[in-house]
Amino acid sequence: MAGISDSGAPDDIKLHIETALSGDDAAQDAPKKESVNAKLHRESAQLPKDIRTELEAVHAAMTGELPGLTAAETAKLIASKAGRAALDVGKKALARIDDHLFSVTGERDPILGKHYGVYGPNPESFAGVYRSLQQSVTENERVSKLKPNDDGRRALFTPLIEKVTTDSLEGLMQVLGTRVETRTALATKSKASDATIKRAEKILTRVRQHLYANLPDQKQDSGLRAYGFEPIAAGGGRPKKAPPAPAPNDTTTK
């Protein structure tokens, strides 16, 4: 589905669920000046009780399985130029790892990637990228300790990839600063269960369809972004991209 959880990565799905909950919370508050028609759409777009209840339940399940950053904390981290830059560098490092494993195995998206956190589409969220980089560093350290004649050593990173991966992780650590508990949580090799992921995808689909049915411009409504979805371009096809956010003045995140 077009939106934050496009990658299907657990951390991205978790962030999407939190964003959808925040979007629904915001829809409860009426602006000072609101037309009758705008009020009709806003109130109709509010999530029905059963959808909201399931969304909250799935969020609780994913939070238990994937400790780490909340949506609000993530937004604060990437609000700075330094945060966005570190995240971009981290994504590029994961792409290098993808290509490395493809070269080693001769397969695109090999099962081996599960050990590095890069099986399937790579994560896009801060927590997802951090967790995959940490997993990659840990796995490469394990491989480096294998016996010289062990076939598994073929997956050992080249000096460049090892440096890029380590440096990228350290860059994200610097953005996190002194958040020791968060670092520990993200360093944990956590995994959302398949059942939870399927449950999350199902409820997000229900949220999306409810919004399509009730927002003023339906599938093309810019209000979808408040819930973590991207509007569909007129005539179908690729989602409409959000306009680039202006660069904030601050360059650090605390």
Note down pLDDT in tens along the chain; length 254 residues: 578 888 888 888 989 999 999 999 999 999 889 999 999 999 999 999 999 999 999 998 888 777 667 777 788 888 889 889 999 999 999 999 999 999 999 998 899 999 998 988 898 888 889 989 999 999 999 999 999 999 999 999 999 999 999 999 999 988 887 555 555 656 555 567 788 889 999 999 999 999 999 999 999 999 999 999 999 876 655 555 554 444 434 433 33
**Amino acid identity for residue 141 in this structure:** E
pLDDT at residue 248, rounded to an integer: 38
Q: How far is CA 138 from CA 31, 141, 187, 206, 247, in A?
A: 49, 5, 10, 37, 34
pLDDT at residue 250, rounded to an integer: 40
Around 96, how many Cα atoms within 13 Å sit in the side-chain half-sphere? 19
The CB-based long-range contact list for 16-20 (8 Å cut-off, 24+ gap) reads: 16/204, 16/228, 17/55, 17/58, 17/59, 17/62, 17/200, 17/203, 17/204, 18/59, 18/70, 18/71, 18/72, 19/71, 19/226, 19/227, 19/228, 20/55, 20/204, 20/207, 20/227, 20/228
State the residue for tokens 């077009």. 2
